[in-house]
Each structure stands twice: as structure tokens, then as C-alpha cells.
Amino acid sequence: MTSPDSPSSPASSNGSKVFNRSLTLEDIVHYFVASKRSLNTQTVLWRANEIVTSARDFLEENAVLVARNTSIRNIIDVQTDSLAAVRTGIDVVESEVQTEFKSLLHSLDTAFAGLQSTLNVLRETPIESSLQPPDTPQKHLFDFIDSATVTNLKDSLTACIDRYNDARSLLNDSNDAFDTSLSTLHNAIASVPSSPASRSNHSPVPGLYHELEEHARENAGLFQSLVKHYDLCVTALKHTEGGSAAATEAVGDTPIPSGDELYAPPEPMSEEERQEMLAVLQNDSMQVEDAVLELHDRESEMSSLLSQVEAHIALLREQDTALANILRILSNLSADAKSYIAVSRSFYDSWTQDTREILLNGIDEWENQREFYERFDLAYAELLVEISARRRRHEKAKRKAEEAQKDLDKLYAEDEKAREQFALTQGDYLPLDIWPGLRDQPRRYEVRAISAEQAEDDEGREEDSRGRSVDASIPQLSRKVVERALARVERRM
């Protein structure tokens, strides 16, 4: 509506007359009553003031909550990332250890399988009966090894693997507890009330408060216009004959604001000025109802905006409560994380200081034992070849000894015959005491086999009798046995 300072007001320098007909006293009184009634919208101003005051308090609380919630969210993000990094680190340690463990276990199984294959060969390789005392049970190469060494090492490795599995089971339980705690944390984070504003870190409250202030200012301006219009009605009544009495009669017992002015003497005014004033009054009266409606509409809009502010503050409060709960969860989880890390470190230390070293030593030991028993099997095959060779040398020596014995016997007979011939020819002429050995028989020489002990006992005997002994206890092996032994030796070479 037109204010007193507008171009169409009495204060305007234009002084235009904007009305269709001359106003009667009844019209002026009607405008006065409507104007007076419009002043009841003062309660709207009071409500607007209350709304703005409440909104200002909410604005302050909004600043505090947004700052605190943002700070806590940043703390939560950092702590959550740190815990996720710790959990990932534990997985990396477990994965690396498990990968190496599987590799060593495969190598250990391969080495053990090789040893078992060698032991199976020993189990299936019989000792030639000619090498054993008569009437003894059949023996195999396996009967001559210390199987307790294999069994003890296998038990030690099994115990080591069991310890590793126990440590890994403990780690798995710890990791499951860690994952459960992280899941609880993530669920709590996901359940924090959110809104587009909170996700973008821009609260709508400052903007809403600015709108409320604008509405309050507009309402104040509208009400000020209504007050000025009321004052203009009073002025018109005072410059109209019977106006004061008619106004009093129209409002009855209801007090009239600025009543003293209504009955105060009017200031001098020319007729032209009065007509201009009435024109403004008529124009403004047409806008009173719209102004009142606008005041109420703005009041309704302000209430709606305040509801939005209250709703967002309630959301921030819920976020604050939820974030505080997450901080408590983080505090507990951070404390528990120390034990989760300790279990992971214990698992890693157990691996590096116990399991890995024992498995590596076990692999080496299985390989050494396999190599030793393969060498044992090869040595037995070479033994059979050696026995056969010794037998050949024995037979050759025996033939040589028989031939030598024939030559010795022949020489003995020749010596004996020569001596007899000498005795017949010269015996009668030679006295017996000229040489005590004149009538002795020839010395007999024998080629015979002697043992090593006998050779030592015969150390004082003549050189030609030593070294003629032959080991007659060398067994006779079949050709097939020797051929098989030779084939095994050649395969291993």
C-alpha cells in the first residue's frame, strides 16, 4: 500500500488527486475502522520477532554443531583409514607368510616323497642269502638303517606344522574379531543421519535465517505502512466535521490508539491539501486488506522456514549424538587394535623364529637322508659287483696257486731224486759227520690260503710264504645278480 512518503501521499510534491468520487464521512469512518482492525496484525510482528530470535539461537547452535560434526567426521575418516590400513597390513603379513609356508610345505612334501621312494627301494631290495649266515630270516636293505631317525624327524616336523596351524587359527580368530569390530564401525557410520546439506558440508540454516530476516523486515515495513495509514485516517477525521464523534461511535468501547490525537485540534490545512490527502487515503484503503493478507502469508512462510531450521538442527543434533557414539566405538576399537596387531606380530615371529627354520632344516634333512640312503643302495650294488670281482680274483689266484703247487711238487720230486742219486754215488765215500745235512730230505713247500690273522702270525716266515693266502670265504654270486647290480650302478653314475 502507499506510504506517506510515496509519490501519491500528501507529502508528495506532485499532489495528484487519485479518487473517483468525493469521500463522505461514512467512507472515512469505514476506512478508519478497517485501519484500526488492521493494527491487530501487531501480533504478527511479535510472532515474527519470536521466530527470528529463535532462529538466531538456532543459527548459533548450527555453527557449533556444524563445526563439531565436521571436525568429528574428519577424525573418524582419519581413524577409519588408519584402522583399515592396519587391517590390510595384517592381511599382507598373513598372505606373505602363508604363500611362503605353502611353498616350503610343497618342497618338504617333495623331499619326503623322494625319501619315501628311496626307502621303498631299500624295503624291496633283499640281501643275497649267500651274504648272510645260514638259516637266518631273509633281510632287506631297509633292515640295516636307523628308521627311528626318519620317524623322529617326521614327528618333529608334524609338531612344527601343528604349531603353525594353531598360530594361524589364533590369527584367524583375531582377524574375525577385528572384521566384526570394523563392520560395527562401518554400520554406525552408515547409520549417521544425512542430508544433501550435511553431505556437502553446507548448512541451509544461514540461508533460511537470511530469508526470515527479510520476511521480518518486510512485515515491519508493511505494519509501518498500516500505522501510517491509520494516522492518515485520524488526520482525515479531524479535518472532517463530526469525524471524531463518528469514529468514537463506530468503534464503541474499544480504545482507539493515538486517541488523544483524534480529539486534538487539527493543524490548518487548505481544501486542496485535504483533497489530496483524501485521494491518498482512498488509494491506500484499497491496499489495507492485501497488506494484512501479506503479513499473515509472511508469518506462515516464516513459521514454515523456522520448521525447516528446527528440522535441520534436529538432524545436526542426531548426527552429533551418532558421531559421539562412533567416537566411543573408535576408542574401543583402537584399544582392541593393539591386541590384534600383537597377535599378528606373534604369528609372524612364530613363523620367522620357529616354523620357517624348522621346515628349511627338515627339507635339508630329508634331502640328506634321501641322498645317504640312495648312496647306501648304490654302495650295496657296488658291493655285489666288488664281491663278484673278488671272486674272479680269488679264482685266478687259486689257479695260480695250483699251478705253483704243481711246479713246487715237481721241483721237490726232482730234488729228492737227485739227492738219492748222489747218496748212491758218493755216499760210501763221505763220512756222515762231514756235513750234518748230508742225509736230510728236501724241504717241501706248499701254496695254501691263509687268513689276515694267520698272515700276521706268519710275519716271521719267509717272504715267499707270505702273500700266498687266499680268502676262501668269498661267496659265489649268480650272473643275473651281478648284472642287475651293474645296471643299478650304471644308472646312478
Nearest CA-CA partner of 221 in 101, 44, 88 = 44
Is the pLDDT assigned to residue 250 strictly greater than 80? no
Nearest CA-CA partner of 82 in 373, 330, 310, 388 = 330
Instruction: Give me 40's grid cell.
Output: 491487530
Determine the pLDDT at residue 421.
Answer: 92
Determine the pLDDT at residue 8.
Answer: 34
More confident residue, 460 or 236: 236
Is the pLDDT assigned to residue 235 strictly greater than 80? yes
> pLDDT of 342-393, one tens digit each?
999 999 999 999 999 999 999 999 999 999 999 999 998 999 899 899 889 9
More confident residue, 271 or 188: 188
Determine the pLDDT at residue 466.
Answer: 40
Mean pLDDT of 276-294: 86
More confident residue, 32 or 415: 415
Determine the pLDDT at residue 350.
Answer: 95
Q: What is the DSSP string of 93-157?
A: HHHHHHHHHHHHHHHHHHHHHHHHHHHHHHHH-BPPGGGS-TT----BGGGGS-HHHHHHHHHHH
Determine the pLDDT at residue 77.
Answer: 95
Nearest CA-CA partner of 299 in 222, 231, 389 = 222
Nearest CA-CA partner of 271 in 25, 17, 5 = 17
Strand partners, 392: none
Determine the pLDDT at residue 301.
Answer: 92
Model confidence, pTM:
0.67
> pLDDT of 200-223, one tens digit each?
557 899 999 999 999 999 989 999
Beta-carbon count within 10 A of 260 CB: 8
> pLDDT of 164-185, one tens digit each?
999 999 999 999 999 999 999 9
- Of the pLDDT bands very low, low, confident and very high (cuts 50, 70, 90), residue 7 is very low
DSSP state of 443: P
User: Which region, left, alpha or beta, applies to residue 9 given φ > 0 means left and ψ of -120 to 50 means alpha?
Assistant: beta
Is the pLDDT assigned to residue 463 strictly greater than 60? no
**Whole-Å CA distances, 34 to 30, 254, 299, 425:** 6, 13, 20, 198
- Of the pLDDT bands very low, low, confident and very high (cuts 50, 70, 90), residue 467 is very low
Please give the angle made by the CA atoms of 5, 8 and 14, to the nearest 5 degrees: 100
> pLDDT of 10-19, one tens digit each?
333 333 344 4
Q: Domain map of the chain by residue range?
A: 1-363
Is the pLDDT assigned to residue 252 strictly greater than 90? no
- Of the pLDDT bands very low, low, confident and very high (cuts 50, 70, 90), residue 468 is very low
Is the pLDDT assigned to residue 433 strictly greater than 60? yes
Determine the pLDDT at residue 62.
Answer: 93
Mean pLDDT of 61-76: 93
> pLDDT of 307-330, one tens digit each?
999 999 999 999 999 999 999 999
Determine the pLDDT at residue 343.
Answer: 96
Separation between Cα atoms, residue 401 and residue 449, nearest integer Å: 9
Separation between Cα atoms, residue 365 and residue 371, nearest integer Å: 10
> pLDDT of 87-135, one tens digit each?
999 999 999 999 999 999 999 999 999 999 999 999 999 998 888 888 8
More confident residue, 456 or 286: 286
Determine the pLDDT at residue 458.
Answer: 59
Determine the pLDDT at residue 244.
Answer: 67
- In percent, the amount of the chain with pLDDT more than 70 equals 85
Determine the pLDDT at residue 17.
Answer: 41
More confident residue, 340 or 200: 340
Determine the pLDDT at residue 366.
Answer: 94
Determine the pLDDT at residue 194.
Answer: 80
Determine the pLDDT at residue 262.
Answer: 55
- Of the pLDDT bands very low, low, confident and very high (cuts 50, 70, 90), residue 450 is confident
Give the mean pLDDT of the chain: 84
Mean pLDDT of 272-297: 86
